[in-house]
Amino acid sequence: MKLRIQDNSLRLRLTQKEVALLGDRGSVDSAIHFPGARVLHYGVTARPDTDRISVRYEGDSVCVCLPANLVGKWAKNNETTIEGADGSVQIVVEKDFRCLHRPEMAEPDAFPNPLA
């Protein structure tokens, strides 16, 4: 999963496997390990008890929460993006497409790029 933070926006790009895990298990997560044994965890969770997109930042963890019914449909169709806002934070969760300027083997689990 790729994480991009810019100003007040948070963007996560998920591979095919991660989209399938999110659709089947309801969550997918990753982490970055910093020197000094610090770890930033980040992920996406499908929640059956909500109908809005939200984000939680607690300790060393960032979790984007999405409505489970929205995730179930998105994981199985051709839509590429789920987006919304929680307060002033803009949230975008996307299916990750292969880059056009890299060899296909560099991103084997990315979705085929529609522009290829």
Q: 15-30: per-residue pLDDT in tens?
A: 999 999 999 999 999 9
17's enclosing H/E stretch is helix 16-25
Q: How many CB atoms lie within 10 A of CB 114?
A: 8
For residue 1, the model assigns a pLDDT of 94
Instruction: State the average pLDDT for the chain.
Output: 89
- Radius of gyration of the chain from its Cα atoms, rounded to whole angstroms: 14
**Residue ranges of the domains in the chain?**
2-106
Query: Could you tell me if 67 and 46 are in contact, meaning their C-beta atoms sit under 8 angstroms apart?
Result: yes
Report the candidate in 39, 40, 3 with the shortest Cα–Cα distance to residue 18. 3
CATH of 2-106, one of 1.10.720, 3.30.1360, 3.10.540, 1.10.3470: 3.30.1360
Residue 58, strand partner residues: 61
